[in-house]
Structure 1
């Protein structure tokens, strides 16, 4: 048991720190995402009110045509991979961080 402790001991701290850092990042990210959803939802409601009362005219078909290419499965996967790459850049605790990030996103 002592040999196993010596083998994994140096990595245990990195995994623990990475997991905690990932959890806090995921938790904060989810909270910020909720706030962003609230702001965007209120913005949409405001735009719809302005359109309803004739102050603005919105071309939703053109907006959808502009946004659809950004929401493809491959684009979203690539964005997620780039996001993880940025968050774990030069970090020896990347494995623990990603696991903690997922838990933080679920709990946030």
Structure 2
């Protein structure tokens, strides 16, 4: 019985802890990236307002929407892959908890 239980407990514990750490780190990094993007956008708006540069906001919006559309397609092949793996499932739960805590 313990030959079955110990590896399962190890996978669940290690996966949860690692997932929490990764989720926490990802959220912190996303905050930093959001600040950098915000500063960049403010600089573009200021430079466009003063006439130093001419920003084509329509093309910029299309490029950003295209990026988010292609990133959303990754969940279609990633979800079935992870759904069948116990370690990965617990890892994702831990990552979600770490992301929420971050």
Take 1:105 and 1:12, find their aligned partners in 2: how far apart are those partners?
23
Deviation at 1:83, TM superposition (A): 7.1
Match for residue 74 of structure 2 among 64, 71, 79:
79
Take 2:76 and 2:36, find their aligned partners in 1: how far apart are those partners?
26
Pick closer, same or farther for the CA change 1:83–1:101 going to 2, 3 Å: farther
Match for residue 55 of structure 2 among 58, 70, 78:
58
Deviation at 1:95, TM superposition (A): 1.9
Take 2:38 and 2:15, find their aligned partners in 1: how far apart are those partners?
34
Tell me the C-alpha RMSD between the 2 structures. Answer: 2.6
Take 2:25 and 2:76, find their aligned partners in 1: how far apart are those partners?
19
Deviation at 1:84, TM superposition (A): 7.6
Deviation at 1:62, TM superposition (A): 1.3
Deviation track 1:42-88 (CA, whole Å, cap 9, x = no partner) reads 0100111111111001000111122323333xx44433466789xx7
Helix, strand or coil: the match of 1:28? helix
Helix, strand or coil: the match of 1:93? helix
Deviation at 1:7, TM superposition (A): 3.5
Q: Normalising by structure 2, what TM-score? A: 0.80
